[in-house]
Chain A
C-alpha cells in the first residue's frame, strides 16, 4: 500500500538538497498540470512504498503566487499521508511561519531542521525536543548537505505517515484572538472534522472569500462572525489578516526564546560582509559585469566554442563519420541506407549534439549561480532596469545564457517566480543570438560587409532590442497583465555550493533534454534528409545524385512557398529552404546554402559560397534574410524546451508564432523601407511596411491599460 509524503518548506531552505538525498536517482521531474511550475516526485530510498512529492518552495499558504496556490491545493485536496516540513536552522524565525500554517492542516507532520552544521559552527543552539513539543510534532535535526540524520528522518516520517492519524495543532495565539476563533468554531464549524476546524476558523477570521464560499455560510452566520472579528480588530487596533500574521510571529518568537540560544543580533554575518562589496553602490555593477563576462567568456567563447568545434570537426567529422561511412561501404550497404544513416541521421543529429558540451558548461554555471546565492543578487541589481520593460531582474540570467544556447537559457527561466514574467522570458530569450547563429552572421558579414565586426554587434543589438520591445508590447496586452507579483524577495545567505548538487542538477537537466528532444530531432533529421535527397528526375521519383538538388522535394516545397518571402527580398527557393533548415539547427543554414550552390562541405563562415551569394542577393536582401533567421522560430531543440517549460501547446504555438511574426515584420520593414530610401519607387509594399512600423510604434507607446488591474487589485484585496 503506497504512502505519499509531501515535502514543504521555504525557498533556500535546502529542500532540493534534501529531496535529492531522500530519493537519490529515483526521481521524476515534470510539471504541475497546465502551468509552468516544476513538479518533482520520487521514491524514498529504503522505503519503496513511499512516494515523496516535492512541493514548490513557498513562504506561506496564502494564495498570492502560483506556487503557493499549487502547494495549498495539493495539501488540501490530495491528502498526503504526512508532511516533511524543512526549515532552515539558521533562519528559524521566518521559516516557522509556514510551519504554523502547515500545522493547522491537521496532516501528520515531521519538522526537519536543516543546516545544523552551520548552526553548530555559529555557536547557536537549538533544543529540538522542546521545539517539537511546542508544535506537537517530531523534530529531526539534519544537514541535508552532509547527509546527517537523513535515514532517521526517513524512518520517522514514514512512521508518522503509516499511523494515519490526524493531528491537532498545538500553537495558540493570544487571548482575544483565541476567544474569537473559538466562537467561530462553535457557531459555524462544529460539523467539520475536528482536525480541520482550526484551519477553517483562522481562514474565516481572515475573511478568506474562498473558504467562505466553500462552507456556504448563511448571511446571518457571516454577520455574526463579522461582529466577532470587528471586536477583535478594535481590541488589537489592526486588521484581522494582519492580526493573525502578527500572532503567528509572536508565537514563534516566544517559542524561540525558550528553545534556542541565538547569536547576537545585528552582528554582520559572513554573507553580509560579502555583500558589502558585491552589492556595494559603486562596486556592484563592475563586479556584476565582470562575473557575467566571465560566464560568457568561459562557457561560450572558450570552453563552449572549443568543445563545439572539437565535437563537430574532430569527433564527428574526422572520427565518427568516416568510420561509419567506411564500414557501411565495406558491408555493401544499399546506397540509400548509407545516405539515410550518414547524411540524414548522423549529420542532423550531429549538428544538434555538437552543442551539448556548450549546454553542459552553461548548465554548470547556472547551477553555480543558483546554489551559491548569487542569483538573488543579480535580480536585486538588475530589477529596476528590467521592470521597465515587463521582465524580472531574474530574466537577465536566461538572456546571458541564451547567448550560448537557448536550451539551457529557457530552463533557467524556471527560477522566475512570477508566471507572467516567466512566460515572457521564455518567449523572448531566443531573440538573443545563440552560438549556432554565429556562423550565419559570419556568412552574411563575410559575403556582403567585408567581415566587419559591427555586423555581429548589430545582431546582438537587434536581439536585445527585440527583447525590450517585446517586453513593453506584450506587457500591455491582456495576456500578460493581471496583478504583478510584488518584488519582495529574500536575499539568502551565500553558501558554498555543493558540487554534488550542481552536478546532479546539471545531469538531470541535460539528460532530460536529450531524452525529450532526441526523438524529435531524429525524426526531423530523417525528414529533412528525405526531402533533400529525393525528388523527380525525368518524371521519375527517385533518389537524387549530387547536383540534382533543384529537383528535390524540398526545392518543390521551397518554390511553392517562395512567394511569401518575396516582399522580404528573397522569394526564391534556396534562401527559403535554407531558412527552413534552420529549424533543425541554425547553423544548418550555412551548410544548406553550401549544398545548394554545389559545395558538399563548407567552412564555418561559408567562404566558398560568398560569390554565389553575392550573385543571388543584394546587401539589403541579405540583411533582411539575416534578420529573419535571427528573429524567427528557433531550432526544434529550443522549441521542444519551450514546450516543456510552458507545459502548454497553445503557449508554445504563441511563442513560435510571435517570434516568426516579429522576424517576418522586421525583415519586411527593413527591406521595403530600405529599398524605398535607396531611391526605389513607393510601392504597395512600402506602404504596408510603413503601416507595420506605425503599428509597432503604437503598440510600443500607447498608454498601458490600467483600469482593469486596479479593479483586480481591489478584488484580490479581500481574498486570502
Chain B
C-alpha cells in the first residue's frame, strides 16, 4: 500500500482511502483529506519531521507517522 509518507517532495498523489482510527482519522478528513483529493508534498521540516503539503488551496503540516494512514496512488 502506497501512503502519503512514500510520496516524494515535489510530487503529487491522489487519495485512495483514509485508514486509521479515532482523532487522527477524524482530523485528517476534516482538514480536507478525502477520497480522490489531490495532495502536493511541498517540503519537510528542517529537523526531518513534520511534512508540509498543499491541498484544496492551502498549506497543511502533518507528522510522517500520521501521513501513513493516508493511502494514495
* A residues in contact (CB < 8 Å) with B: 59-60, 62, 64, 91-94, 97, 238, 241-242, 245-246, 249, 262, 265-266, 271-272, 275, 279-282, 284-285, 376, 380-385, 483, 485-492, 713-714, 716-717, 720
Q: Taking chain A's interface residues, is the majority helix, strand, or loop, or is none over half, making it mixed?
A: helix
Q: Is the CB of A384 within 8 A of B35?
A: no
Other-chain residue from A249, A272, A385, A492 in contact with B32 (beta carbon distance below 8 A): A249
Residue of B nearest to A276 (CB): B43
Q: Is B1 an interface residue (CB 8 A)?
A: no
Pick from A62, A487, A490, A713 the residue with the most CB of B within 10 Å: A487
A-B contact pairs, 12 of them (CB 8 A): A64-B23, A64-B27, A238-B17, A246-B35, A249-B56, A271-B59, A275-B52, A281-B43, A384-B50, A488-B31, A489-B60, A490-B31
Q: Enumerate chain A residues within 8 angstroms of B52, measured Cβ to Cβ.
A: 275, 279, 380, 491
Size band of the interface chain B makes with A = 35 or more
Say yes or no: A242-B22 contact (C-beta < 8 A), given A91-B57, A284-B46, A384-B49: no
Other-chain residue from A238, A383, A490, A716 in contact with B23 (beta carbon distance below 8 A): A716
Give Cα A636 to B32, complex, Å. 45
Q: Is the CB of A60 within 8 A of B30?
A: yes
Give Cα A527 to B37, complex, Å. 65
Q: Is B34 an interface residue (CB 8 A)?
A: yes
Q: Is the CB of B47 within 8 A of A242?
A: no
Q: Enumerate chain A residues within 8 angstroms of B22, measured Cβ to Cβ.
A: 483, 713-714, 716-717
Say yes or no: A246-B63 contact (C-beta < 8 A), given A381-B46, A483-B23: no
Q: Is the CB of A488 within 8 A of B27?
A: yes
Give Cα A720 to B27, complex, Å. 11
Say yes or no: A380-B50 contact (C-beta < 8 A), given A487-B61, A488-B60, A716-B21: yes
Say yes or no: A249-B37 contact (C-beta < 8 A), given A281-B46, A385-B47: yes
Q: Is the CB of A488 within 8 A of B48?
A: no
Give Cα A297 to B56, complex, Å. 40
Q: Enumerate chain B residues within 8 angstroms of A62, measured Cβ to Cβ.
A: 26, 30
Other-chain residue from B34, B57, B62 in contact with A487 (beta carbon distance below 8 A): B62
Q: Is the CB of B24 within 8 A of A488?
A: yes
Q: Is B44 an interface residue (CB 8 A)?
A: yes
Q: Enumerate chain B residues within 8 angstroms of A720, measured Cβ to Cβ.
A: 26
Residues 1-36 of B, flagged 1 when their CB comes within 8 A of A and 0 if not, give: 000000000000000011001111111111110111
Q: Is the CB of A245 within 8 A of B46?
A: no
Residue of A nearest to B47 (CB): A384
Q: Is the CB of A285 within 8 A of B46?
A: yes
Q: Is the CB of A246 within 8 A of B34?
A: yes
A388 to chain B, nearest CB (A): 10
Q: Enumerate chain B residues within 8 angstroms of A285, measured Cβ to Cβ.
A: 46
Q: Apart from A238-B17, A489-B62, list 9 A-B contacts with CB within 8 A.
A: A59-B30, A94-B57, A242-B29, A380-B61, A381-B45, A483-B23, A486-B27, A487-B61, A713-B22
Other-chain residue from A60, A93, A714 in contact with B57 (beta carbon distance below 8 A): A93
Pick from A241, A242, A381, A486 the residue with the most CB of B within 10 Å: A486
Give Cα A262 to B50, complex, Å. 29
Q: Enumerate chain A residues within 8 angstroms of B25, measured Cβ to Cβ.
A: 241, 717
Give Cα A385 to B63, complex, Å. 12
Q: Is the CB of B58 within 8 A of A94?
A: yes
Residue of B nearest to A489 (CB): B61
Closest 4 pairs (CB-CB, A-B):
A717-B21, A246-B34, A60-B30, A245-B29
B45 to chain A, nearest CB (A): 5
Residue of A nearest to B58 (CB): A91
Other-chain residue from A262, A281, A383 in contact with B49 (beta carbon distance below 8 A): A383
Interface residues of B in 57-73 (CB under 8 A from A): 57-63, 66
Give Cα A62 to B30, complex, Å. 8
Q: Is the CB of B21 within 8 A of A714?
A: yes
